[in-house]
Structure 1
Amino acid sequence: MIFIGNWRSFGKVGGWKCENQKFLCMFACFNEVYMHKIYFENRCIIICEFGNEALADSNAVIFHPGERMDISTFASMFEVTKSLSKIYIPTSDIDAMYKNLCAQFKEVNAAGGLVVNRRGDYLLIKRNAKWDLPKGHQEAGEDIRVTAVREVEEETGVDKLELGPLICVTDHCYLRDGVWHLKHTWWYEMLYNAPVDLIPQREEDISKAAWVAKSSLPPFLKNTYPSILEVFRESRL
């Protein structure tokens, strides 16, 4: 089923705790629009309400699952149909559907930052030929905010960061050693005010770290991931 129309970007951010209490899972809402996104590289699954106008997307497929859902079904759909960009799952219980999907993954937590300096420039890194934001996995027992600051410092060489508010949490999945992983990444605003040479972390396949003026962002953002675009949309910087 295809619905014709335009997709609306997110606005206000909120959150809820998953059943196992191990992490805070975020959702985004625009007015009363409430949904979860799970990214598969440049494509995504969107869990949303029935009849929501966000379903009005001419490039998407509407998926009505039965009682049981296998994540490999969605992976196969994306693999077989390369032009498929979004799969919508309409449901009357978004939280339950999201937790159902989460339970099929090995879940991992990560954090990173959208860093801006006093001039208003943004800190970007180039990893595997794509422009990205610095981020990395949470260590055992580590506060997620500490993870965010540590990973930005390690991947770019900056220090003395001023941690700001949480922007959003993005989800993306990947297959590793035959196991599907779901990474929840917490994104924070950060301010940096000390002059220092940027040092990209080569062992993490980061070839470049750069300060980019806001007016110069468009060509960089054309070569990045949808989840990173979401972070920029949600940020108030």
Structure 2
Amino acid sequence: MQDSTPSADTTLASMLPKVERQRLHDTVVGHLRNFIVEGVLKAGTKLNERELCETLGISRTPLREALKVLAAEGLIDISPNRGATVASLSATEIRDTFELMSGLEAFSGELACERMTAVELAELKALHYAMLACRAQDDLSGYYDCNRQIHDRINQAARNSALRQTYLAVNRRLQALRFRSNFQKTKWDSAIHDHDEMLIALEARDGKRLAAILRQHLLDKRDAVLHMLAAEADAAPVTSEF
């Protein structure tokens, strides 16, 4: 599979038009969130406010407001001395957070099988087929958007407000890693298979089965991400200090 992520020399400005003033706040937050999720702004990257303002065609005030939102979501860290930096998770934090997410998704699936309406199920199936079309075109960005919506709608269909708020808070921290978990073709195809099985379980209203699929689906993503990060660390050049 060809890597669908932007190359290192791709400028942020080339990826989007100048931000319109209408709904400025939400638009800026959305663009920056997507940059982080899709790896344009990688974990540990120090954010250059001047560059971001020029790219988005905005002043520093709306940018800083957007950065505060992303900091509250756990996507960036803001330090009085260092400014804003894209947040990074340790291997232990990644493992723990994916394990928590696997339980949240499993519970969402179990409740969704009881509470999802026929209309919601039909909409979910349409998203599933759109996701398959993106996979056929090696469109990782489009695939991930459909994938994210599917998981989100299963959670919404659970109709549990406490679960919903916890799910959103935890999932925000994992979005960039969930996106990267499909970089390898075998992992991507395995995820597709899982989604096929999810749909079958939903149509059968088999909550226990869907819960088991979702739990393992998230644990497989955990393993894929940890393996990928370990491989990257092994491949990184070793520097010596004299």
Q: TM-score, normalised by structure 2?
A: 0.24
Which protein has greater RCO, CA pairs closer than 8 Å, 6+ apart? 2
Q: TM-score, normalised by structure 1?
A: 0.24
In our comparison, the structure showing a higher alpha carbon Rg is 2
Structure richer in helix, relative to its length? 2
Structure richer in strand, relative to its length? 1
